[in-house]
Structure 1
Amino acid sequence: MPIIVNIDVMLARRKMSLTELSEKVGITMSNLSILKTGKAKAIRIETLDAICRALDCQPGDILEYSDQA
């Protein structure tokens, strides 16, 4: 899929663990892992909003389009 999910990059920049993000956003670790690995088929705008708030970033910092993927 040409959409790349960069949650791991933002987590590293914010020095935050996946567990901490899970607690702040209210999403299970397994669902965050599915999203992080790019295996998710969709993401709710509400979820994207919560992740961006927790990581203090923009949606474009997390989602990237690449025709090389």
Structure 2
Amino acid sequence: MTVEELIAQLQALPPGTPVLVEGYETGFDNILKLAEQQVGQYRNAQKWDGEDQTLDRSTKPERAALKRW
């Protein structure tokens, strides 16, 4: 998803709607902050791995992404 696509979807929601991400094991977590980081797709990702990894672990060309904490 791009920033443009995310903004378009968020604009359709009431401004007070919480934004959550999937939790590590179960449930959901709040997004605390966003930061830009260079990442690449991790082709050998297991089910529990994220699809994108830092450049030293990636196996496809880099792309900019937002990382949440």
Of Structure 1 and Structure 2, which has the larger fraction of its residues in helix?
1
Which protein has the larger Cα radius of gyration, Structure 1 or Structure 2? 2
Q: Which has the higher contact order (CA 8 A, sep 6+)?
A: 1
TM-score (ref. length: structure 2): 0.26
TM-score (ref. length: structure 1): 0.26
